[in-house]
């Protein structure tokens, strides 16, 4: 696939092309679990204008993280497909 590099939980950088099939499958499962358990929004006890802005920023951040994780799933699945050929 591409030159994408996955950073492991231990901080090691592994090019996607160098990951084993089982590692890719386990990573996909990990990402899917994380997407199901997105962090809840934290209550803010300041004034309402600040709270609204804070919640909006948190929602935007969570959405961006979720989108990036979904893109990783697509990359991993594409890599698995290319290895089947």
C-alpha neighbours within 13 Å on the C-beta side of residue 61: 10
d(CA 5, CA 24): 12
81 near 4, Cβ under 8 Å? no
pLDDT in tens, 1-58: 458 999 988 899 999 999 999 999 999 999 998 888 766 555 555 566 666 676 777 7
Q: What ranges do the domains of the chain cover?
A: 5-84
pLDDT in tens, 56-81: 777 777 888 889 999 999 999 999 99
35 near 66, Cβ under 8 Å? yes
Q: Can you read off the two tokens belonging to residue 76? A: 């991993």
pLDDT of residue 20: 95
């Amino acid at each position: 696939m591409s030159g994408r590099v996955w950073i492991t939980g231990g901080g090691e950088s592994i090019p996607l092309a160098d990951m084993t099939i089982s590692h890719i499958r386990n990573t996909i499962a990990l990402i899917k679990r994380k997407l199901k358990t997105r962090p809840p929004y934290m209550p803010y006890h300041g004034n309402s204008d600040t709270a609204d802005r804070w919640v909006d920023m948190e929602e935007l951040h969570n959405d961006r993280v979720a989108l990036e994780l979904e893109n990783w799933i697509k990359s991993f699945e594409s890599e698995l497909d290319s290895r089947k050929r």
